[in-house]
Every structure is written in structure tokens, then in C-alpha cells.
Homo-oligomer: A and B are copies of this chain.
């Protein structure tokens, strides 16, 4: 899935160490201990402060946890919590800001196992992956990666993306109407690639949104992953009467 890599070719030692540690995490269970910092630093050929900086990141991201005097351990996964939301453009307009959107990349790929599962298609089926920036008053506020089964859109030209929303294209081409969806929101920190696109420092607090949307015929029509700047964003919820 594009947008997830945290080593965007800069190849500095921190990035390389991070890759290495993430690779090792694949082979570990929750609760397993990593080698000690001194040992890992030696093994990976970096200084201990450099290693610690990377482990600091992974701890902040909830992947690792440290215990003073004991060790560094693989952390436990997350819990879900529900709520609802309106669209970016609508919100920006309501705030007297001019919403904008810019496609920075789009390509067609085989779905693969994970994305195939999310979209409920075969892993070999093709998927459009569209990378867009969401702007308000010409400032980048969010990055969005839209994944849509190719069979729903057929061949696609960049101009079509600029001139129409995905939902409009679905309606026009396939007579498909959006019915419902599920979205998750997590706090995160920006990767180097995300930081560059958003114009913020690396490892800044941010919102990570992931949304799976279903048509009224019951099929999954998109999976969207977005990163919203935490320095320029907060969510506001209108609370309903008879709060529990």
C-alpha cells in the first residue's frame, strides 16, 4: 500500500535502523523482548543515541514499549471506538476557506492480499490507487490514498479525476450509489514522505483515517487512507441530546 513506507530513499541511518527493527517485529509476538539497546546498536552498526531515536519513534507509534531497567517489548494492538463525520470540502467551505484537491499520483496495481481482503476482491484483481492532496486556501491539509477496484472505473484519465469526484464517476459509469461505510481514526506521527507532502516536520502529530465504503448493492467500492495534519486540525463533534 503506497504511503506507508517511512524510508523514502533518504537512506539515513535512522531510516535503515527503523526498517531493520520493523522487519524483526514481523517475527515477534506481543510481549516479546527486543535485544537490549546496546546490543542492537552494535549489531546494526550505529550509536546508541541513534538507535534510541528510532525506538523512541516506534514507542510513540504504539509498536513498542519500554520498561526502565527491564527491556524493550513488542506492544499490544489497538481497540476501536465509534463516531461519524462530514466531508472535507464541506467543512472547509463552512469555515470560509476554499477547498481544493490535487492529484499527485495515480496508477493501477494488483490488489495483493491485504487490499484484496479490504476491498473483497481477488488479490490478483487490479486496483486504481490515486494519491491526492486536500488543500484549504492553497495550503495542504491532508494526503489521501484512494483504492478502488479497476472494474468499477475501467480505464481512467487524470482529467476525469480532476473534473469529477469518484462518487460521481461511480454513479455515471456503473449506476452505483454509496450506501454506508466504516472509518477509523487514530493519532499518528508523520513519516518523512507524508511530512514532505504536508509541509510539516517529520514525526509531527497527525490523524490517520482509514475508510471502507460500501454501495447500496452491498459491494465494497473503495478503501481510503488519509493523513490529516494534527497541527492544523482537530475534530469537532456535535453531541446529541440524552448523552449516555
Q: A159: shortest Cβ distance to chain B, in Å?
A: 22
List the number of copies, as a whole number: 2
- The reply to whether the CB of A175 lies closer than 8 angstroms to some CB of chain B is no
Q: What are the interface flags for A84-110 relative to B under an 8 Å C-beta threshold, 1 for contact and 0 otherwise?
A: 111111110001010000000000000
- Interchain CB contact under 8 A, A239 and B78: no
Residues in chain B near residue A89, CB distance under 8 A: 244
- The reply to whether the CB of A65 lies closer than 8 angstroms to some CB of chain B is yes
Q: Which of B179, B211, B244 contacts A90 (CB 8 A)?
A: B244
Chain A residues within CB distance 8 Å of chain B: 49, 56, 59-62, 65-66, 75-76, 78-91, 95, 97, 136, 141, 167, 178-189, 200-201, 203-207, 211, 213, 216, 228, 230-244
A-B contact pairs, 7 of them (CB 8 A): A65-B231, A76-B231, A79-B232, A79-B233, A83-B83, A83-B85, A184-B235
